[in-house]
Amino acid sequence: MTIVRLGYVAMSVHLQNSSPSQTMTFAQFSKLKNREAAIKKLERIAISNLENCLRLLKHNVWNEIHFFRFSSRLIPLANHEELAGWDYMGPLKRSLAEIKDYLGKHTIRVDFHPDHFVLLNSTDVDILKRSIKALQTHAALLKGMGVSLAHRCVMHVGGAYEDKEKALEQFIHNWGFVPSEIQNMIMLENDDTTFTVRDTLYLCEKLNIPIVFDLHHHLANNAGIEWEDNWGRMVGTWSQSSLPMKMHISSPRDDHDFRAHADYVDPSMFMDFLSHIKGSVNQIDCMIEAKKKDDALFRLVEQLKSYKEIEFIDQSSFHIR
């Protein structure tokens, strides 16, 4: 028997006016004649994003959802080169403390998925430095929320740069330049175009990084490899983590746009996966990456109730026998 917990990404379609990803472009920032006023506006946007994060956490507690991914766009222009020296964390302390207090009262697994421009296997030193700086911002937010840094940021391996094997070795080379605190945050995910489960496992096992298995990505990019043949290895990468194993679930939009995420999750596809892995782990946390966010979670829960192998614990968690 395995416990399965469902979560969703960043935003709710049920909670109105709650976006945690409100932003300002640098072009918009530049049009404001008073720089100090422009920075204050950035800070107000970031505070509003954090306030909406707290609203989302309360929404999740009300609906017994224990797994949630924060938006990685909480602080607009946080690491823009033209804003070097801006102490963006200072004005956020109160909002972060409110989230910390709430998380202290409720058990919710939270994490981040940094944007695609965060690349740890780049051969460009400046890109690597900017990527580490972006991850340090994520670390600062987690610290402000009172969240342990261990295994809280899931990333793709990065670019292939026309030589996938060399790109994997570049990741290993660059890893030595990543501060140990940031290394401790990282989980790696197989992607839908380049790095398969086996490629990702190579790095995870070599560098002691947990793998986040994405089933949809595997179906789109597997090089003829069956995920079941590597499941034991994937589970093994979580042996040193205090957190349950994590995976991503989503469904293809259609056969013509297979890599794009559908609005909802195909329950039969998910159940087929669960039937293969039940009993192999005590618990697995499944992050739903669907366009309809929390509504996709709610619909999947209702659909899963018709399966006799499933016994619900609460509104988003269940046993599968």
Per-residue pLDDT of 149-207, as tens digits, reads 999 999 999 999 999 999 999 999 999 999 999 999 999 999 999 999 999 999 999 99
Q: Kindly report, residue by residue over 74-124, the tens digit of the pLDDT.
A: 999 999 999 888 999 999 999 999 999 999 999 999 999 999 899 999 999
Mean pLDDT score, 31-56: 95
If residue 213 lies in a helix (H) or strand (E), which one and from where to where?
A: strand 211-214
* pLDDT > 90? residue 301: yes
Q: Kindly report, residue by residue over 192-228, the tens digit of the pLDDT.
A: 999 999 999 999 999 999 999 999 999 999 999 999 9
Q: What confidence tier does 250 reach under pLDDT thresholds 50, 70, 90? A: very high
* pLDDT > 90? residue 33: no
Mean pLDDT score, 261-282: 97
- Domain membership of residue 48 as a residue range: 2-320
Mean pLDDT score, 289-315: 98
Q: Are 77 and 26 contacting, i.e. CB atoms less than 8 angstroms apart? A: yes
The structure tokens listed for 225 are: 């490899």
Residue-level pLDDT at 15: 97
Residue-level pLDDT at 126: 96
* pLDDT > 90? residue 292: yes
Domain tally, the chain: 1
Residue-level pLDDT at 71: 98
Query: Distances from the Cα of 228 to the Cαs of 5, 222, 280, 285, 286, in angstroms?
Result: 21, 12, 11, 18, 17
Q: Are 134 and 79 contacting, i.e. CB atoms less than 8 angstroms apart? A: yes
Residue-level pLDDT at 70: 98
* pLDDT > 90? residue 285: yes
| CA 200 to centroid of chain Cα atoms | 16
88 CB-near residues (< 8 Å, 6+ apart): 42, 43, 46, 75, 78
165 CB-near residues (< 8 Å, 6+ apart): none
* pLDDT > 90? residue 23: yes
Residue-level pLDDT at 309: 96
Residue-level pLDDT at 256: 86
CATH code, domain carrying 315: 3.20.20.150
Q: What is the mean pLDDT of the chain?
A: 97
CA distance 159 to 123: 10
